[in-house]
DNA sequence: CCTCCTAGATAGTGATACTAAGTAGTGAAT
DNA sequence: ATTCACTACTTAGTATCACTATCTAGGAGG
C-alpha cells in the first residue's frame, strides 16, 4: 500500500511502540517487520528517527549488544512510561476508529429538490 | 478527546471530504459538526485550511451564497475527482485499521530464559 | 454602542514521515 | 585483494499537516 505518509503520522509511533512491547528488539528488525506487515514503503531512516524520538521522550530503555552478523545492535524495551504512553495511544486510536466508523456509515442525503 | 493532533494528520482531510459527500455544506457547519461528533478541540481555522487545500487540489466545487444569519457562506460539493480521492482514502484507512488490529492482537512474548 | 453569533481567511509554529546520504561490520563471490 | 551484498545505525534537510493566533466582516439583541 502506497501513499500512507500522512495517515501514518501519529500512528507510526504507536505501531513501533506496540511492536517493542511484544519483546525486546532493534531498529533493523522493526523495519523489516513493518515491511513484511505490508508497510512496503517504510525505510530504515524513518524507523530510526522514530526510535530516537521515543528514546528522547524517555519511553524506552536502551542496550547496545554485538550482533553475530554485523555492527552492534541497539536493543530497545518499553519502560513504565512507555507502557503508559502506549495505553494512551490505543485509547486515542480506538476513539478515532469509532468516529471514522460513524462517518463512514453516514449516507448521502439527497439534496435534490 | 484531547491530544489527537498527530493522529488526525491525514485523517482529517478524509473526515471533511466524507462529510461533504453526505451533502452540500460549508466550513462553519462542518466545524460544529466535528465538535459535536467528539472532536472537541477542532477550531474553525483548522477546518478552513483543510477546505482551502481540498479546493486547491481540485476535489470540490465551490459556490458562494448569502446566509440569512451572517456573512456569505461558501458551499462545497464533491466533484468526481473528490469522490475518487475519497474512495482511495477509505481504502488506505481500511488498510491501516487492518494492520493496527493485527498489531494490537499480538501479545507480549515472554523473553525470560 | 457593545456583545455575541455567524462566517471566512491567513501568517507563523511545531510535529512528523520521508529523502538522501553517510558510516561501519561481516562474509561471500570474483 | 577487491568488490558486492547484507546487516545496522545516524543525520541534515524537506514537505505536509494540524494548530495557534489574529484579523475582517455581517447581522441580531441588549
pLDDT number for residue A108: 76
**Chain B residues within 8 Å of chain A (Cβ atoms):** 1, 3-11, 13-15, 18-19, 21-24, 37-39, 88, 90, 92-93, 95-97, 99-100, 102-104, 106-111
Strands (E), B1-113: 25-26, 60-65, 73-78
Does the pLDDT value for residue A113 go beyond 50? no
Relative orientation angle of helices B11-21 and B80-105, to the nearest 10 degrees = 130
Query: Tens digits of per-residue pLDDT, A44-82?
Result: 999 999 999 999 999 999 999 999 899 999 999 999 999
Task: Please write down the long-range contacts of B61-66, taking CB distance under 8 Å and 24 or more positions apart.
Answer: none
Task: List protein-proximal bases of chain D (any atom < 7 A from a CB).
Answer: 6-13, 16-22, 25-28
Partners of B14 on chain A (C-beta within 8 Å) are 100
- pLDDT-derived band at B108 (thresholds 50, 70, 90) equals confident
Cβ-nearest to A11 among B19, B88, B96: B96
- pLDDT-derived band at A107 (thresholds 50, 70, 90) equals confident
Once rounded to an integer, what is the mean pLDDT over residues A20-30?
98
What is the CATH architecture of B5-100?
Orthogonal Bundle (1.10)
Instruction: In whole angstroms, give the CA distance from residue A35 to residue A24.
Output: 18
Q: Which of B5, B6, B87 to mutate to test the interface with A (most CBs of A within 10 A)?
A: B6
Does the pLDDT value for residue B67 go beyond 70? yes
SS3 B42: coil
- pLDDT-derived band at A106 (thresholds 50, 70, 90) equals confident
Domain ranges of chain B: 5-100
- Indicate the CATH number for domain A5-98: 1.10.10.10
- For the CA atoms of B96, A73, A85, A44, the dihedral, rounded to the nearest 10 degrees, stands at -30
SS3 A38: coil
Residue with CA nearest D17 C1'? B9
Nearest CA in chain A to B108: A22
Q: Do B11 and A100 touch (CB under 8 A)?
A: yes
B103 min Cα distance to partner chain A (Å) = 7
Amino acid at each position: 500500500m502506497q501513499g500512507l505518509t500522512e495517515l501514518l503520522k501519529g500512528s507510526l509511533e504507536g505501531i513501533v511502540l506496540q511492536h517493542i512491547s511484544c519483546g525486546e528488539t532493534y531498529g533493523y528488525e522493526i523495519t523489516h517487520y513493518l515491511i513484511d506487515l505490508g508497510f512496503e514503503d517504510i525505510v530504515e531512516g524513518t524507523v530510526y528517527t522514530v526510535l530516537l524520538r521515543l528514546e528522547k521522550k524517555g519511553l524506552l530503555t536502551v542496550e547496545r549488544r554485538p550482533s553475530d552478523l554485523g555492527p552492534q545492535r541497539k536493543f530497545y524495551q518499553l519502560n513504565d512510561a512507555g507502557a503508559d504512553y502506549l495505553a494512551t495511544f490505543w485509547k486515542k486510536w480506538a476513539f478515532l476508529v469509532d468516529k471514522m466508523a460513524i462517518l463512514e456509515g453516514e449516507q448521502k442525503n439527497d439534496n435534490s429538490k
